[in-house]
Structure 1
Amino acid sequence: MNTIFIGQNLIEIKSIDSTNNYAAQLSRQSVMPEGTVVAAEEQTKGRGQRGNSWESEAKKNLTFSTILYPKFLKADEQFYLTKAVSLAICDFLPTLLPVNLKIKIKWPNDIYIEGKKIAGILIENSVRENQIQHTIVGIGLNINQQNFKTENTVSVSSITEKEYPVNECLEQLCSFLEVRYLKLKKNNRCFDEEYLSSLYQCEEMKSYLFKGEKTIAKIVDVTAEGLLVLEKKNSEKIYCNLKEVTFFQ
């Protein structure tokens, strides 16, 4: 790989339940080199946010995890890593897709193309004494899959009608991840404005379900802790965690 450390230690697996689970197991057994990547041709029980499963056809998509040691971040700063990873995927996708397509981050860490999901991220942190000890970043990115169970899902290939070498896509994405991670290490606030401007439905009045009640509001910010900030028509602000708010399509 044409990187300094992410992907230099590459573990390739034919089939596994979850690359995040496997990476976590490796981390419990020994101290793995930072940037170790576990990539699977098939992931049988891929996980997403809220305990959702991740649908992925074997050998068609990117399903991988990388082990990082962001000890420069405190526990209450861990969402900065989510910003960096999300933006890295947004950096990578234009290398494959037409330039006129809207690439957006659906809070907290799904990637959407023209309102349809193309990628998801699951970040799991090990924290001790308010410091992040190690992080496992799991990424699922639809590359060549054509058929999905849900209509709101797309792949690069379903958009461009081309096939892509998955291994080359992995190498390129690892390079973009590394660039963002190293920038984060220098300045953990450097992505705030860019992340906010990349958010799906940012500054648009939309319907949300907050704590079981429907409300009309717009996204105006994301706090350092990762809370989504909605602003209602009367200027009242609502601070939402992942389990409290649902987007209406």
Structure 2
Amino acid sequence: MIIGSNIIPYENLTSTNTEAALLLKKNNIPEGTVIHTEYQTAGRGQHGNRWESEKGKNLLISIILYPGSVKSEEQFLISMTISLGICDFVDRYLEGSKVKWPNDIYFKDDKIAGILIENSLMGDTIESSVAGIGLNINQENFPGEIRNPVSLRMITGREYEREICLKNLLCDLDKRYKLLLYGDRRKIRDEYVNRLYWFNELHEYMAGKTIFKGRISDVSVSGILSIIDEKGKILKFSFKEVDFIP
């Protein structure tokens, strides 16, 4: 087992990703080390967004990885891998989890998990990667400013043992990570694309001030999203260049 072979528990942290980055600077940390906390005072999401979580209700972890065989131009493969591992976990309890590009896990139209991947590059390879995950397990009340959150408990009406959930999550992530290191990366990409929220469905999007309709068709290993508009033109977007219109 790579992911989960070493777990460092905390009661409180500013951010698990921040703590992981500090540990990487100070120590020779084994690959697969998991930083796990009950509460974050300044949890971070993608592009500076905050991740809000009630103390002792959810899973808040960061995983230290050394995916040296992954080229820098393919670094979104790490996000694909982590996303699929979380979907595998959710599928233990519920069918139908999806990945909302680039970094959210959805059940139906609600967000059950978020991912923050922070890579340290060395030339054309990845020296280290910190994969931060916030996964809603037992929380039932969320701040009003958070759009469409959901948890396992809200969906099923059951309370879950978070230690068991953590064990299962790390097992699922470990299987996916080994596929990234030693297996078929094309399979990872293909599964990720087929898991995409709104994949091949006609929906509205906004790019800049322009609203258009299109169908998601692909995501590259560098993270570029492809949408085919109603005229058949393939439009390509990087992070924050396009918004989904509910």
**Are positions 1:12 and 2:9 aligned together?**
yes
CA contact (8 A) 1:80 1:189 kept: no
Runs of 4+ in 1 over 6 A off after TM superposition: none
1:190-249: per-residue Cα shift (whole Å, max 9, x none)? Answer: 212211111000111111111231111110111121100011111111110112111111
With normalisation by structure 1, the TM-score equals: 0.95
1:220 to 195, 217, 220: 217
The within-5 A match list for 1:74-113 is 74-97=71-94, 99=95, 102-113=96-107
Deviation at 1:165, TM superposition (A): 1.1
* Matched AA of 1:178: D
| Unaligned residue ranges in structure 1 (runs of 5+) | none
TM (norm. structure 2) is 0.96
Provide the secondary structure at the position in 2 that maps to 1:190: helix
2:177 aligned partner: 181
Alignment of 1:159-170 (within 5 A): 159-170=155-166
- The answer to whether the Cα contact below 8 Å between 1:184 and 1:190 also exists between their aligned partners in 2 is no
* Cα distance in 2, alignment partners of residues 64 and 126 from structure 1: 18
What's the offset of the Cα at 1:148? 1.3
User: Which whole-Å CA distance do the structure 1 matches of 2:54 and 2:121 have between them?
Assistant: 33
For 2:2 and 2:177, locate their aligned partners in 1 and report how far apart those are by CA, in whole Å. Answer: 11
Paired residues in the alignment total 243
Overall identity of the aligned pairs, in %: 44
Ranges in structure 2 where 5+ consecutive residues have no aligned partner: none
Residue 138 of structure 2: SS of its match in structure 1? coil
Q: Is 2:121 aligned against 1:121?
A: no
Q: Give the AA of the match of 2:159.
A: E
State the partner residue of 1:153: 149
Partners in 2 of 1:114 and 1:224 — Cα distance? 25
**After superposition, where does 1:184-195 map in structure 2 within 5 Å?**
184-186=180-182, 187-195=184-192
- 1:9 CA displacement: 1.2
Counterpart residue type for residue 148 of structure 2: N
- Cα offset for 1:189? 2.1
Corresponding position of 2:228: 231
Give the letter for the 2:178 counterpart: L
